[in-house]
Structure 1
């Protein structure tokens, strides 16, 4: 099976696996225990936290480990919203956010907050003008993902962040798809959420960055782990493996993004002249390893199943939406009809992707279209 679903998850690197095994074997103690074993485990945790903080260009005290990127998003958004609700109750986001952001917004709405959706352009981008028009006098928080997982479009966080900073509004970004791959402007962000399993680390480990000068409220009061940010014994082996994966990938990330961008271009060149193929998302401001594609008149799920039958693993959108029969909200937010949104399928490349695999995929996709369309 050829794996083209790296935006859903990545395989753990050999170094991450080795690190997990060693730490789980030699530093298994609870990092909150006061005996020597616990102190050694806490040292590993501190070193790992610094690695992640350095990758984000933030202070170690601003990084809080969680059980996933989704949990990091939920805890950051709710923690910031409740801490600042005396200043206002309006929160702005977009219709195309990851399910974890939508969950947090639903929860906050149930607790008296007003949720507004900023309009996006045809590529799914929030412009400074559209964001400015969405702001109200009691807006306290904005959450906009750095990159959309379904169509790959990247937001200009710097421009949007400068507008929000000028208005004293907190700014959170879901950076799960970009962390360790593209620069994240944490200098303009109040908060960001990331995860390990999108960058060759383990599943079940994520982290939130929150600016140290910004107050937040714990979701579960009374816990002591992660400075009260999250309850539960910290997974030191998983966090160490996360740090090892990041430490290994960062030096090659820029070169790797160029390589994967070239592979993506092969697919674009193969189908750009065929009017039945529609490439979604911004043509240049996008994840270089990501292809959001539609074939007119063919459901994305059919393409997925046919590709799977022919030995390729792709997806129809965010893996966190499996079992949801609704079309991708991102596509609806940029003006696609419901039947068009159902056509979306996603191809994402990673470290194991080769040019030979991509060329094989191109030929396979051509065969599927001929088989289904008859031409």
Structure 2
């Protein structure tokens, strides 16, 4: 099987696996224990926190480890919202956010907050003008993902962040798809969420960045783990593997993004002029390794299943939406019809994708166009 679903998850690197095994063997103690073994485990945890903080150019005490990127998103957004509700009750986001953001917004709405969706353009981008148009004196928090996992569009967090900073509004970004791959302007963010398994680390580990100058309220009252941010014994081996994975990949990422951009362009060039193929998302301001496309008149699920039958692992969109028959919120926010939304497939390259595999994919997709008759 040729794996081309790196936005859903990435395989762990050998270095991350080795790190996990070593730490689980030698530093298995609870990091909150006061005996020598516990203190050594806490040292590993601190080193891992410092590694990730330095990569993001933030302070070590601004990184909080969680069980996933989704949990990091929920705890950060809810913590900021409840702590600042005395200033206002309006929160702004987009219709194309990850499911974890929508879940959090639904929870906050049930607790008296007013949720507004800022409009996006045909590529899924939020402009400063559109964001400015929905701001009010009651707005306390904005959550806009750095990159959309379904269509690959990357937002201009700098211009959006500067606007919000000028207006004294908190700014959270889901950076799960960009962490370790693209620069993240943390100096303009109040908080951000990340996930280990999107950057060659283990599943079951995430992290949140929270600016230490901003007040937040813990969801779990009375807990002491992760400075009160999250309850539960900390998984030090997995966190160490997370830090190892990102530390290993960081020096390689610039060259790797160039390589994956080239692979993406090979696919675009192969279907130039093909009137049954549509590429979604911004053509340039996007994840370099990401292709979001539609075959006119052909269900994306059928394309995915046919590719799987022929040895290619691709996706129909966000992996967190599997089993959901509703059309993509992202696609609907772009003005696509329900039928067009259901045509979406996502192909994402990664560290171990080869050029030979990309050419095999191209040939397979061309054959599918012949075999499956669309509109």
- TM-score class normalised by the smaller sequence: over 0.9
User: Residues of 1 paired with 2:315 and 2:332: CA distance?
Assistant: 18
**1:374–1:297 distance in 2 versus 1, CA, 3 Å:** closer
- Equivalence map 1:221-300=2 (5 Å): 221-300=221-300
Partner of 1:151: 151
Partner of 1:109: 109
* Contact kept? 2:307, 2:314, Cα under 8 Å: yes
User: Residues of 2 paired with 1:329 and 1:257: CA distance?
Assistant: 28
Partner of 1:195: 195
1:275-299 CA-partner distances (Å, limit 9, x unpaired): 1100000000000000000010001
User: Residues of 1 paired with 2:320 and 2:56: CA distance?
Assistant: 25
Runs of 4+ that moved beyond 3 A: none
1:174-226 CA-partner distances (Å, limit 9, x unpaired): 00000000000000000000010000000000000000000000001010000
1:73-101 CA-partner distances (Å, limit 9, x unpaired): 00000000000000000000000000000
User: Residues of 2 paired with 1:138 and 1:41: CA distance?
Assistant: 44
User: Residues of 2 paired with 1:285 and 1:272: CA distance?
Assistant: 19
Find the residue that maps to 1:209 and give its secondary structure.
strand
Find the residue that maps to 1:373 and give its secondary structure.
coil
- Equivalence map 1:66-215=2 (5 Å): 66-215=66-215
User: Residues of 2 paired with 1:287 and 1:101: CA distance?
Assistant: 20
Structure 2 residue 35 is matched with structure 1 residue 35: yes
Partner of 2:46: 46
Q: What residue ranges of structure 1 are gaps of 5+ in the alignment? A: none
Find the residue that maps to 1:192 and give its secondary structure.
strand
User: TM (normalized to structure 2)?
Assistant: 0.99
User: Residues of 1 paired with 2:172 and 2:179: CA distance?
Assistant: 14
* 1:336 Cα offset (Å): 0.2
Find the residue that maps to 2:279 and give its secondary structure.
strand
Q: What residue ranges of structure 2 are gaps of 5+ in the alignment? A: none
User: Residues of 1 paired with 2:46 and 2:374: CA distance?
Assistant: 60
* 1:242 Cα offset (Å): 0.2
* 1:268 Cα offset (Å): 0.3
Backbone CA RMSD of aligned residues: 0.8
User: Residues of 1 paired with 2:81 and 2:258: CA distance?
Assistant: 38
Partner of 1:15: 15
**1:102–1:249 distance in 2 versus 1, CA, 3 Å:** same
User: Residues of 1 paired with 2:373 and 2:104: CA distance?
Assistant: 42
Structure 2 residue 335 is matched with structure 1 residue 316: no
* 1:374 Cα offset (Å): 8.6
Find the residue that maps to 2:294 and give its secondary structure.
strand
